[in-house]
Amino acid sequence: MKENLYEIAQGIAKIEDYIEDEKLLAEYLESANMQLKEKVDATVRVIRMFESSAEAIDTEIKRLNELKKSRLSNAERIEKWISYSMTNNGIEKIDTDLFKLSFRKSKATIIDNEKELDKKFIDVKITEKPNLTSIKKAIENGEEVSGAHLEERKNLQIK
């Protein structure tokens, strides 16, 4: 029966409580550690495969975004050409079997000089967020920072 990583780790923890024979304990632990190493090795290979496929997906996303941008640019250019052609020929409306093209009037706000605008016409955008780097430095230097603390963590490093 093949055990999964969790079962191997549980077995290692339990065996220490139940076996008093040091030789038997050592043999079991060595066997369990070998199983654990093999399982971890295989599992890390899967992690690397996922990371590699994520990189390939990122590359494909970038390619597709560039293709999307190109297609949208082409569509906009063709639409401008149709608009130009209709305007130059004095055509306000075209009906085809599938589409109806016509102009509608609209108004656009054009800013000639932003600096001349009254402040009531300016939206101010302010974003606030904690500066984690300065908070960490302050706490490490012995300063008490109300509303924050440092937490010791263990991060798995795979080389």
Model pLDDT, residue 139: 92
Enumerate the domain spans of the chain. 5-112
CB-CB contact of 15 with 25 (8 Å) = yes
Report how far residue 146's alpha carbon sits from residue 157's, in angstroms, rounded to the nearest whole number: 32
* Residue-wise pLDDT tens digits, 25-39: 667 667 777 777 877
Contacts of 140 (CB under 8 A, 6+ apart): 150
Q: How many C-alpha atoms does 23 have within 13 Å on its Cβ side?
A: 0
* Whether residue 7 has pLDDT greater than 80: no
CB-CB contact of 49 with 43 (8 Å) = no
* Residue-wise pLDDT tens digits, 84-100: 999 999 999 999 999 99
- What value does the mean pLDDT take over residues 42-47? 81
Model pLDDT, residue 154: 77
Model pLDDT, residue 1: 53
Burial class of residue 14, CB neighbours in 10 A (0-12, 13-18, 19+): exposed
- CB atoms inside a 10 Å sphere around CB 143: 9
74 pLDDT band, cuts 50/70/90, is very high
* Residue-wise pLDDT tens digits, 91-148: 999 999 999 999 998 888 999 998 999 888 999 999 999 999 999 999 999 999 999 9
Contacts of 123 (CB under 8 A, 6+ apart): none
pTM: predicted TM-score of the whole model, two decimal places: 0.56
- What value does the mean pLDDT take over residues 44-67? 93
Helix (H) or strand (E) holding 88: helix 22-88
